[in-house]
Amino acid sequence: MKTKQKDKVNIVTLGCSKNLVDSEVMLTQLKGNQIDATHESKKDDANVVIVNTCGFIDNAKQESIDTILRYADAKEEGMIDKLYVTGCLSQRYRDDLEGEIPQVDAFFGTMELPLLLKKFKADYKNELVGERILTTSNHYAYLKISEGCDRPCSFCAIPLMRGKHVSKPIEQIEAEARNLVKNGAKELLLIAQDSTYYGLDIYKKRNLAELLQRLSDVEGIDWIRLHYAFPTGFPLDILDVMRERENICNYLDMPLQHGSTVILKHMRRGTTREKQEELIQTIREKVPGIALRTTLIAGYPGETEADFEEMRGFVERSRFERLGVFTYSHEENTHAHNFEDNVPEEVKQERANEIMAVQEQIS
């Protein structure tokens, strides 16, 4: 075992940009407590490792588990003293993980940063809320506008890990944006689980348009980019703001998940193919030249050849500028898990490939 006077901590992050922001907050809190902490340091000199995991779908979970196991081995070999695991996988499967990987000193959920800090005899410092040491290049930064999700999408495990939707107050997001600009950010990437829901909980109305306006007014921001827009209940007033404001990118990430009305209904998306097409048309009319990004799922339980053809036609007609496809991952404790995962893996993959081939002709 390495003998060290003082802990040297390294944080390793798996998964999405929301998780990365959590790691940045963790890093800021550790350093604010005078703890020597790094993020994904190339040097192998940390004696404490914190793995911030992803628990979303099969591949992501496997990657998180492999990473934990790698550090569990490092601990067995005496390369590190302590191993902590936090984030979504740990929130979702803590009991199983505790049994399976005893080398881990402690597991934490997605909302347990104060408890994690206690392991370092550190306190959660409220004065650091809104401060963030970036792990991306300083010129762009992710900015979380809310946490959690109230949507009942059948396939999705996120509410199990991130809880109900909680919007951050506009003033708090503004302050965070000013801090980021002060530290060199020129581009803000707005993220959430469901960004178009923004405000419904705390302001009793969808309030994304006002938030965009207020952020657009913050001096020094050249680009504001909106991600994770949910199509149902889409606040159309944001489109006027997007068109009118120079520093809001003509870009929208809107994961639509499917293009067949039957499957969308099974997915409990609250929308239909026709409604999605209508929304896309409105967006393109109101924000000329916009680049639309979407993501889709191939091989949902019960997806027939006809359903898939409907999705393919939808992709052909919608002409997304950017598109990604995932194969369906059967997640326990989701609504869709009650159904049989009956599309064979190779068919899921073929369908995903086919969508990408169609898209290649478009973008």
Partner 1 sequence: MLIDRKESGNFIGRTEYDSPEVDNEVIVTSDTNHLRIGDFANVKITDATEFDLHGVPIL
Residues that bind partner 1 (CB under 8 A): 17, 136-140, 184, 186-187, 189, 222-223, 225, 227, 249-251, 253, 291, 293, 321-322, 324, 360
Spatial distance between the Cα atoms of 134 and 41, rounded to a whole number of angstroms? 14
Q: Cβ–Cβ contacts within 10 Å for residue 319, how many?
A: 14
Three-state secondary-structure class, residue 326? strand
- Closest to partner 1 by CB, 63 vs 150, is 63
Contact at 8 Å (CB) between 312 and 355?
A: yes
Spatial distance between the Cα atoms of 97 and 61, rounded to a whole number of angstroms? 12
CB of 295 to partner 1, least distance (A): 9
**How far is residue 121 from each of residues 45, 51, 113, 127, 145, measured CA to CA in Å?**
21, 19, 13, 18, 30
Spatial distance between the Cα atoms of 252 and 250, rounded to a whole number of angstroms? 7
CB of 157 to partner 1, least distance (A): 21
CB of 24 to partner 1, least distance (A): 15
- Closest to partner 1 by CB, 121 vs 182, is 182
CB of 2 to partner 1, least distance (A): 33
Provide the token pair at 296: 């889709």
- Closest to partner 1 by CB, 122 vs 280, is 280
Nearest partner of 90 among 74, 117, 70, 112, judged by Cα? 112
Contact at 8 Å (CB) between 292 and 344?
A: no
Region for 48 from its dihedrals, namely left if φ exceeds 0, alpha if ψ lies in -120 to 50, beta otherwise: beta
- Closest to partner 1 by CB, 293 vs 337, is 293
- Closest to partner 1 by CB, 156 vs 248, is 248
Nearest partner of 211 among 188, 181, 231, judged by Cα? 188
CB of 66 to partner 1, least distance (A): 20
Q: Which residues contact 1 (CB under 8 A, 6 or more apart)?
A: 78, 81
Spatial distance between the Cα atoms of 330 and 295, rounded to a whole number of angstroms? 17
Please, where are the H alpha helices in 77-105? 88-100
- Closest to partner 1 by CB, 272 vs 295, is 295
CB of 249 to partner 1, least distance (A): 5
CB of 207 to partner 1, least distance (A): 23
- Closest to partner 1 by CB, 119 vs 186, is 186
- Closest to partner 1 by CB, 62 vs 137, is 137
Contact at 8 Å (CB) between 209 and 236?
A: no
Contact at 8 Å (CB) between 127 and 29?
A: no
CB of 135 to partner 1, least distance (A): 12
